[in-house]
Amino acid sequence: MSKHSRAFKQSVVEFYLRGNDGYGKVGAEFGIDHSTVLKWVAIYEAHGVAGLSKKFSSYDAEFKLSVLKRMWEDGLSCRQTAALFNIRNAGCLSDWERRYEIGGIDALAPRRRGRPRTMPEPPLPKQPQAPQNDETKSRAELLAELNYLRMENAYLKKLEALTREQPAPRKRKSSRR
C-alpha cells in the first residue's frame, strides 16, 4: 500500500494550484517534502487524476530506449521525463542511462528480481536415443565399441589382481592403561 492515498495527493495538488504558495509552503502545510509536491503537480498536469493513482509496471528495453532518446533529444531532466511518461521513480532514468552507456540495449532488458540462485539450474534431460542393433551400426562404430569393451575388461582384471595381492587389514587391539 502506498504511503499516501490518491485523494490526499489530489488535495495537495489542488491546494497548490489554487493558492499562491510555493512548493515548500504547501509541503510544510501537509507535512511532506517540497520535491514530492513538485512531482505530484507535474504528474497531475501531464496525466490528470489518473496519474496520481498507484501504478505497478515494468518496462521492456525498447520502451526504456525510447524514453532515453526523448530525454536526450529534447534536453529534458530526469524528473521532467518521468512526469511526461508517467514513470513513478525519476531516479531510475539515470540508472537506465548509465546501464545503456555501459552495455547498450541489452543492458536495458528487465532483470530477475531477488537473490540469485545458489544452485545451478538442473540440466535438461537428454532425449533417450533409440537403441541401435548391431546390424544398423557402421563398421567404425562397432570397432570403437569393441575397443571400449576390451579396455573395460582389462581394467577390471587388473583391479581384481590388485585386490587379491593386498592382505586383509588387521584389527587393532584397543590399548588400555
pLDDT for the residue 131: 65
Q: Is the pLDDT of residue 127 over 80?
A: no
Summarize the confidence of residues 48-65 as an average pLDDT. 81
- Residue 142, C-beta contacts closer than 8 angstroms, at least 6 positions apart: 134
CA distance 93 to 99: 10
CA distance 45 to 48: 6
Average pLDDT in the chain: 84
Give yes or no for a contact between 51 and 44, defined as CB atoms under 8 angstroms apart: yes
Summarize the confidence of residues 158-170 as an average pLDDT. 81
Query: Per-residue confidence at 2, pLDDT binned at 50, 70, 90?
Result: low
pLDDT for the residue 146: 93
Q: Is the pLDDT of residue 142 over 80?
A: yes
Pick from 115-119, 132-136, 156-160 the range whose average pLDDT is largest: 156-160
Summarize the confidence of residues 116-139 as an average pLDDT. 77
Q: Chain-centre distance of CA 76, in angstroms?
A: 28
The reported pTM is 0.47
Q: Is the pLDDT of residue 177 over 70?
A: no
Q: Is the pLDDT of residue 93 over 70?
A: yes
Summarize the confidence of residues 26-55 as an average pLDDT. 84
Q: Is the pLDDT of residue 168 over 70?
A: no
Amino acid at 18: R
Residue predicted with more confidence, 80 or 119: 80
CA-wise closest residue to 25 among 12, 11, 7, 8? 12
pLDDT for the residue 53: 77
pLDDT for the residue 1: 38
Summarize the confidence of residues 62-76 as an average pLDDT. 92
Summarize the confidence of residues 71-87 as an average pLDDT. 88
